[in-house]
Structure 1
Amino acid sequence: MAEAGSNVTALFRASTAHSPSYAALSRAGGDAQAITDFCIPCNPYFPTPEMFEELGGRLRDILTYYPSSADTITTELCSVLGLNPQTVAMGNGSTELITWIDHLLVRESLAVPVPTFGRWTDQPMETGKRVDMFPLPESAGFALDPASFVDFVRSRGSRTAVICNPNNPDGGLLPRHGVLALLDQLQDLDLVVVDESFLEFADAEADSSVVGEAVLRPNTIVLRSLGKNFGLHGVRFGYLVANPGLAGRVRAALPKWNLNSFAETVVFMLKEHRLEYAHSLRLVQRDRQEMIWQLSRLPGLTVYPSQGNFLYVRLPEGADGAVLRDRLLEEYGVLVRECGNKIGSSSRYLRLVVRPQADVQRLVAGLEESLYATHHGQGRSYGQGQNQNHGQSQGQGHGHGQEYDRIPALEPARSPGPMPAYALPYGSGTAAVDRLVRGA
C-alpha cells in the first residue's frame, strides 16, 4: 500500500501544468485501493448504466470500423441541440478547438482572467502570443467584474479576450446580461471567446448561454464541452458555435475524421436519452448544494460559491494543499485537485468535484482527520468563539460537538477571520446558500 501510494504521489510531483491522468494513477497504484475521484470534473449520473451496457454491446463495432465524417456527426448533434450546422465546429475535445482558435484567430495578444482553465493561458504562450492575465479578486469571491475586465483589456491593448463561464476552478458565473454587456463593449476586438464548458451544471437562471448571440456577432465564439457534461472525458468531444464565417474557418482546418466512433455512437444516442441527461444535471445541482453545506461546516475551510460541478475551497491558514492531497490519497483513497500549479492560485486551494453524498462523507472524514486530530472529550474546539467562516462560528456551525487538535504538518496557523461579503453578480443560485456564504 505504502509503495503504491508513493508511486502515485510521485506522479503529482512530476506534473507541472495539469494533474496526471486517471489511467496513469491506476497503473501506479495497481490494485492497492479503489480511488474516489474528486479531481476530474465528470457527471456521475450520466451516461446511465443502461447506456453503458448498450455501449458495451456495440464495443466490437465501435473499435473495428471508421467513424462517419465530422460533418455527419455534427449534423446529428445540431439536430439534437437545435443549431444550424453551418455555425458549429466539432472537435476532438475542447482542447483541440482551443488549439485551432489560437492558431487561426488569435493574433499578438490574448486577455484572460486568472485563475482559469490552464489551456487558455498555456496554449497562446506556446505559440508566442502575449497573454494578459487579469487577477480575479479573492475578496469578491473570485467574481469577475465585467467593467474592470474591459478596462484591463483596453489598458493592455489586448486583441482577443476570453472568459470561462462558469469559471474553472472557482465555478463563478456571470449572468447572461453581464456577458452580453461585455460582448457589446468588446465588439471592436478581433475575437471574444466565452467558454461555456460547464454551463450545463448551472441553475442560477433559466438560460445563461449566449450561443444564440454568438451566431449573430462578427467576433464571438462560444465553446461547449460534451465530455464534461456527459461524464465522458475519455471520448474527447466538444464543439464551438459562431457565425458561419468564423465556424467555417475552424471547421475547414479540422481533419475529416477528427471525431472517433465512440463520439459518434454517443451523439446518435442522445435523442433517446434527453430526459435522463436533464435528470442527471438536477442531481448534480442537488449534490452541489449538499456538498457546499458539508464542507462549509469544517473549521477554517472557505468554500466559494459555484455554478459548476466542482467547488473551489481555501484551506485553513498554514495548511499545505500538496501535503493534504498526498495524505488523502495514500491513507483514504481520495483524489483531490490541489491548485498550486494553476496561475493565479496556490497550494492553499483545492478544486473538489461534486460527487454523491456517500463519497462526500468519505472526503469530509479524510479532511477532518488530516486537518484536525478529531476526538471527543478533551482538547479545544478549533474556531469556537474565535474562528468565523461564512459569517458563522464553526464551533456552532459544526453542530455535533466534535473537537479538534491541530496536526503540525497541516496546522492552521491562525484564524483567517471573517470573510468579506461577496459582490453580486456572483452567486450560487440558491438564496439560502448565498446568505450563508455572505454571512447574512
Structure 2
Amino acid sequence: MSGSVDLALLRNGAHSPSYFALKRGSSGHRREVVDFCIPCNPYFPTKDMFEGLRENLVDVLKYYPSDSDTITKELCSTLGLNPATVAMGNGSTELITWIDHLMIRESVAIPVPTFGRWTDQPLETGKRVDMYPLLETQGFRLDIESYIRFIRERGSRVAVICNPNNPDGGYLARHEVIRMLDRLTDLDLVIVDESFIEFVDAEPYASVADQAAIRPNVVVLKSLGKNFGLHGIRFGYLISNPAIAGKIRNSVPKWNLNSFAEVVVFMLKEHMQEYQHSLRLLSHDRETMIRQLRSLTGLTVFPSQGNFILVKLPPGKDGRDLRDYLMAEHSVFVRECGNKLGTTSQFLRLVVRPHADVQRLMIGLYTYLCAPSVPQAEVISTHHTPDLRANPRPGRRRAPVQQLEAAPVYRLPGGNVA
C-alpha cells in the first residue's frame, strides 16, 4: 500500500492522537483511516442533520452563540429535565475540572482502570486519589460492598464511579448504584459518570439522574458528544440538586458553549426518533462484534455495555506492536491501553462500528494474531445496514432490531471463520 503514517504520533503522549493529527502525519495515497479508537456513535447525526449544519456554517462561524442558560433550557426541554438541576459544559472534561476545583477538597476514591481525567485532574490540583483496583480475574467488575469498605478504610471524602466504565464497558445495574448512593450519604460528594449510559441495553432505564436531582450529595455526569456522535462540538452536562447545579452553573463562563453546540441542541427535538434508532443499531453491532472477536483464538473479550469492547491479547503479543501494524498496514486506528492505570499494553479498547468497518479490523487482527502470512480473506456473505431515515420505529428504543440481516462471515485460511 502506498503512502505512510508517522507512527511516532501513536507512541508519544499519555493520550491517543487526534484524528486531525493523524491526517497531518499521513502522506501519500492511503485508504481513509477507520477509527476504532474514539468512542463515537457512527449512526448519528443523520445525513439530513449534517446538511442542516452545512447550511448554517457561515452563521455558526460569524456570530456569537446564545448564553449557556438559553442553550441549557432548550436541551432540558428536549430531554425532559428541570433546568434548575442541570449545568452544561464545554465537554464533560470541563465539568470534571470545575467539580474538582469547587467540590473536591481533600480526597477522592476512584476504581481503576477508568477514564483518566478522574485520576489525573485531582492529582494535578494536589488532592489525594484513592485508587480501588478492579481485578482482571473478576472481569474488571466493580463489587459495591468491597468498594464501600475501601472508601471507609481510606477515609475518602468523595467517591466516583463510571457506569458503564471506560475502558472495559462494565455496567452496574441501577438498583446497585442506588444502593451505593444510600450507603454514602455522609460523603461530601458521590459522582456517577454516565458518559456512556445511553448505549446500555441491559435494562430499559439505566440512569440514576433522577436520583441525583433530589439527593444532597450526588452528581451525575453526561456526555453529549459520544452518544450524539459529535466529539468535535465539545458539549456535556451534569445533573444534581439545584444548589450544586447552580454552584457549577454560576462558576462556568457565561459563553462556555459555542454556536455549533447551540445549533445542534436546537435541532435535536426534531430528530430524537432517528437518535433512538441509532442506539438500537449500535446495540446490535456490539453484540455481533463481540461474537466475531471471540472467534479469534487466544483473544480474551470482556463483556461490555458501552460503545466499545475491551480485549486482551494472548501471551507474547503486545498491543503497541499490533496498534502500529493495524495503522500501517490496514489504516485501522485502535486504542492501546498501556498508559491506562490498571491495565497493560496487552489490552486494546475497540470502538463498536458498523460491520463494513469491522471487516477490515477482523482481517487485520487475524493476520497479526493467527496467520503465518498475510491472507486474503474471502467475504462469503455481506451485511446491509438500513437507512436511518427510512421509518425508524418509534417506541422503546431497546427493542431488538428485527430488520437487520445476519453479520458478515469471513472464510480465512485454514478454514477459520471470523
The verdict on a shared fold, with TM-score over 0.5 as the criterion, is: yes
User: In the alignment, is the contact (CA less than 8 A) between 2:326 and 2:332 conserved in 1?
Assistant: yes
For the aligned residues, what is the CA RMSD?
1.8
2: CA distance between counterparts of 1:319 and 1:267? Answer: 44
Shift of 1:213: 0.4
Counterpart code for 1:21: S
2: CA distance between counterparts of 1:376 and 1:118? Answer: 36
Shift of 1:226: 0.4
Distance 1:157 1:2, change over 3 A: farther
1:26 to 23, 26, 33: 23
User: Hey, what does 1:104 align to over in structure 2?
Assistant: 102
User: In the alignment, is the contact (CA less than 8 A) between 1:376 and 1:403 conserved in 2?
Assistant: no
2: CA distance between counterparts of 1:311 and 1:114? Answer: 16
Distance 1:357 1:399, change over 3 A: closer
User: In the alignment, is the contact (CA less than 8 A) between 1:375 and 1:403 conserved in 2?
Assistant: no
5 Å-filtered alignment, 1:7-156, equals: 7=6, 9-15=7-13, 17-33=14-30, 34-156=32-154
User: Hey, what does 1:297 align to over in structure 2?
Assistant: 295
2: CA distance between counterparts of 1:401 and 1:27? Answer: 34
| 3-state secondary structure, aligned to 1:142 | coil
User: In the alignment, is the contact (CA less than 8 A) between 1:109 and 1:130 conserved in 2?
Assistant: yes
Shift of 1:372: 2.0
The alignment covers a number of residue pairs equal to 382
Counterpart code for 1:220: V
5 Å-filtered alignment, 1:365-404, equals: 365-373=363-371, 402-403=413-414
User: Hey, what does 2:218 align to over in structure 1?
Assistant: 220
Provide the TM-score with structure 2 as the length reference: 0.89
2: CA distance between counterparts of 1:2 and 1:125? Answer: 44
Provide the TM-score with structure 1 as the length reference: 0.84
Distance 1:3 1:360, change over 3 A: closer
User: Hey, what does 1:338 align to over in structure 2?
Assistant: 336
User: Hey, what does 1:4 align to over in structure 2?
Assistant: 4
User: In the alignment, is the contact (CA less than 8 A) between 2:2 and 2:28 conserved in 1?
Assistant: no
| 3-state secondary structure, aligned to 2:341 | coil
Counterpart code for 1:267: V
Instruction: Give 4+ residue runs of structure 1 displaced > 6 Å after superposition.
Output: none
| 3-state secondary structure, aligned to 1:42 | coil
* Ranges in structure 1 where 5+ consecutive residues have no aligned partner: 378-397, 406-440
| 3-state secondary structure, aligned to 1:178 | helix
1: CA distance between counterparts of 2:411 and 2:35? Answer: 27
Question: Which structure has the highest helix share of the two?
Answer: 1
Shift of 1:3: 7.0
5 Å-filtered alignment, 1:183-222, equals: 183-222=181-220
| 3-state secondary structure, aligned to 1:216 | coil
State the Cα deviation string for residues 39-70 of structure 1 (Å, max 9, x = none).
Answer: 00010000001110110011000001000000
Distance 1:68 1:25, change over 3 A: same
Shift of 1:401: 7.6
Shift of 1:361: 1.0
Shift of 1:100: 0.2
User: Hey, what does 1:411 align to over in structure 2?
Assistant: none
User: In the alignment, is the contact (CA less than 8 A) between 1:91 and 1:238 conserved in 2?
Assistant: yes
